[in-house]
């Protein structure tokens, strides 16, 4: 494992808000935003190769790469910082989900019957 500074530099990438691993949830949707993978570690290259095919959640990336979700989050967090990937935040973790969201989920499930 490479050495890190005590304070993790949070980098603003491509107009996005601050990225830190705390923003990554198992169902955060991840998209590759950069083709170039030179200089990345082998695990990160594997991850980028997978993500270049299309959007996937953090949990799916972990499963396809046979990595624990916790490790995957650390790798992804670095890749967000370096501008290789972008994320669509998972649903907000507010105390209550909004009615519109629950209605959409309900309608979506009913439509499958």
Partner 1 sequence: MASVLASDGVYLRDTVRTAVKLLVVGPFAIGKTTFVGTLSEIRPLRTEETMTEAGALVDDLAGVNGKSTTTVALDFGRLTLTDELVLYLFGAPGQKRFTQIWKDIAFGALGALVLADTRRLEQSFEVMGLLEELGIPYAVAVNAFDGAPAFPGAEVRDALDLLPETPLVFCDARDVTSSTQALITLVEYLSTRNQENA
Which residues of the chain form contacts with partner 1 (CB under 8 A)? 25-29, 49-50, 52-57, 59-60, 62-64, 67-70, 88, 90-91, 93, 96-97, 99, 101-113
Q: Name the one residue in this structure whose structure tokens are 């650390």.
A: 74
- 11 vs 105 by CB, closer to partner 1: 105
Least distance (Å) between residue 89 CB and partner 1? 9
What is the CB neighbour count within 10 angstroms for residue 45? Answer: 13
Task: Provide the β-strand partners of residue 86.
Answer: 31
Least distance (Å) between residue 7 CB and partner 1? 24
Query: What's the distance, CA 111 to chain centroid?
Result: 29
């Amino acid at each position: 494992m490479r050495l890190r500074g005590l304070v993790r530099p949070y980098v603003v990438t491509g107009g996005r808000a601050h990225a830190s691993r705390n923003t990554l949830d198992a169902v955060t949707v991840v998209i590759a935003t950069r083709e170039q993978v030179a200089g990345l570690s082998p695990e990160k290259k594997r991850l980028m190769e997978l993500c270049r095919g299309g959007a996937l959640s953090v949990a799916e990336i972990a499963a396809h790469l046979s990595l624990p979700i916790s490790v995957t989050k650390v790798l992804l967090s670095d890749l967000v910082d370096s501008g290789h990937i972008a994320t669509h935040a998972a649903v907000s973790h507010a105390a209550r989900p909004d009615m519109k969201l629950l209605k959409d989920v309900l309608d979506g499930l009913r439509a499958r019957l």
